[in-house]
């Protein structure tokens, strides 16, 4: 990555800016959504980026701008050398998160997001504690966190594009680009404000900017932790054909079918409110069908250990202790829906 940046540094800067701005929009015209349907179905109408989701994305770019401002404030090639040495950790974080999402469908975006946030908070706290004395430690944590967070955002963008469809792909890219540009500018302004305040209070700039970064990340976690919908897509595993019920064989009368769909939608929303991921919801519904652990593992293409982990989380979140209690809770939910 550092070599690529070095080669690109010889290109005219205005040209690089134009290309960087146009590439996402070009991608939106070339984007073809996958053939499978990703549940839940996209709501009709024009794409709208959730304010909470926008804030979640913006927090990444704000702290990124603050991170670069801290490095530039230290000045000199000696300050930039640790960043170059820790650059591979950015790639490691991005590849690690990407491989986790690719290999284990049970991994949802919330886990990736919270892991990245933890690394970033630890990195800024290390900067606040160590200052510029031992830059390798905070830089290593921050680079790994930014790489993981970048994988989260890339997966999120793919999810939103595939959910919105080709007609709304440009709206998705425009929204993300607007959040990107605005949050970078905001991050630079916040860093300048931190520097001004540090001068008035006579405290080191690195300490003030690092504490501001920790505060921003802490606030974003508190503000959004209990809002699973702003993670958009959870584990991103598309519904297979066998998971989609056939409407041709043994179709119900229209009224009964509508009532059944309403009940299932009510159960799904109740599960969402209790913080279950899409994969956990599928496991719970398959348990309700009476499938064994082996059958569920084969149906969802997951390992037995992953399934047991899902079941523990499901029982903890909905307050059940056994399969029987879980089925009773599902029946109660359908009755209330």
Residue linked to tokens 């802490």: 218
| Nearest one of 154, 153, 119 to 139, comparing CA atoms | 119
Exposure string for 29-42, b = 16+ CB within 10 A, e = fewer: eebebeeebbbeeb
Q: pTM for this one?
A: 0.52
Q: Are 269 and 333 in contact (CB under 8 A)?
A: no
Q: Are 181 and 16 in contact (CB under 8 A)?
A: no
226 lies in the same domain as 260 = no
129 lies in the same domain as 59 = yes
Is there a domain that residue 318 lies in?
yes
Is there a domain that residue 27 lies in?
no
86 lies in the same domain as 223 = yes
Determine how many CB atoms are found less than 10 A away from the CB of residue 199: 11
pLDDT digits (tens), the chain, 337 positions:
456 555 656 667 677 667 666 665 555 455 454 444 444 444 445 566 667 777 777 877 888 877 777 766 665 555 556 666 666 777 777 777 777 766 655 556 677 777 888 888 888 888 777 765 666 777 888 888 888 888 877 777 776 666 665 566 667 777 777 877 788 788 888 888 888 888 888 888 778 888 888 888 777 766 655 455 545 444 333 333 333 344 444 444 444 444 445 455 666 677 777 777 778 888 888 888 888 888 888 877 777 778 888 888 888 888 887 888 888 887 887 666 5
Domain stops at, among 231, 263, 294: 231
- DSSP conformation letters of 88-151: HHHHHHHHHHHHHHHH-TT--HHHHHHHHHHHHHHHHHHHHHHTTSSTHHHHHHHHHHHHHHHH
* CATH, residue 112: 1.20.1250.20
Domain stops at, among 165, 200, 231: 231
99 lies in the same domain as 200 = yes
Which residue range(s) make up the domain with 328?
254-336
Cα separation, 217 vs 114, in Å, equals: 10
Domain count across the chain:
2
191 lies in the same domain as 57 = yes
182 lies in the same domain as 61 = yes
């Amino acid at each position: 990555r550092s070599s690529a940046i070095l080669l690109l540094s010889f290109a005219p800067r205005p040209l690089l800016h134009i290309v960087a701005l146009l590439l996402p929009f070009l991608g939106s015209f070339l984007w073809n959504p996958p053939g499978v349907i990703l549940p839940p179905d996209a709501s009709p109408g024009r794409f709208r980026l959730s304010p909470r989701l926008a804030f979640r994305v913006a927090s990444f770019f704000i702290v990124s701008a603050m991170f670069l401002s801290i490095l530039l404030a230290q000045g000199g090639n000696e300050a930039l050398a640790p960043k170059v040495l820790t650059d591979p950790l950015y790639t490691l974080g991005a590849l690690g998160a990407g491989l986790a999402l690719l290999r284990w469908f049970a991994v949802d975006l919330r886990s990736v997001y919270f892991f990245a946030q933890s690394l970033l908070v630890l990195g800024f706290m290390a900067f606040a504690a160590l200052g510029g004395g031992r830059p390798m430690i905070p830089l290593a944590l921050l680079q790994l966190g930014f790489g993981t967070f970048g994988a989260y955002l890339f997966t999120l963008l793919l999810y939103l594009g595939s959910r919105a469809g080709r007609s709304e792909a440009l709206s998705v890219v425009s929204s993300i680009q607007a959040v990107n540009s605005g949050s970078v500018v905001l991050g630079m302004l916040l860093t300048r404000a931190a520097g001004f305040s540090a001068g008035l209070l006579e405290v080191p700039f690195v300490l003030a900017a690092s504490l501001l970064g920790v505060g921003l990340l802490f606030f974003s976690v508190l503000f959004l932790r209990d809002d699973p919908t702003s993670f958009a897509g959870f584990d991103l595993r598309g519904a297979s054909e066998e998971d989609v019920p056939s409407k041709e064989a043994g179709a119900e009368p229209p009224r009964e079918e509508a009532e059944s769909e309403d009940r299932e939608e009510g159960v799904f929303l109740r599960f969402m409110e209790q913080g279950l991921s899409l994969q956990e919801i599928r496991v719970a519904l398959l348990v309700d069908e009476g499938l064994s652990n082996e059958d569920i593992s084969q149906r969802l293409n997951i390992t037995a250990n992953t399934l047991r982990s899902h079941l523990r989380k499901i029982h903890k979140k909905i307050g059940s202790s056994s399969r029987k209690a879980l089925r009773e809770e599902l029946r109660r939910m359908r009755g209330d829906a």
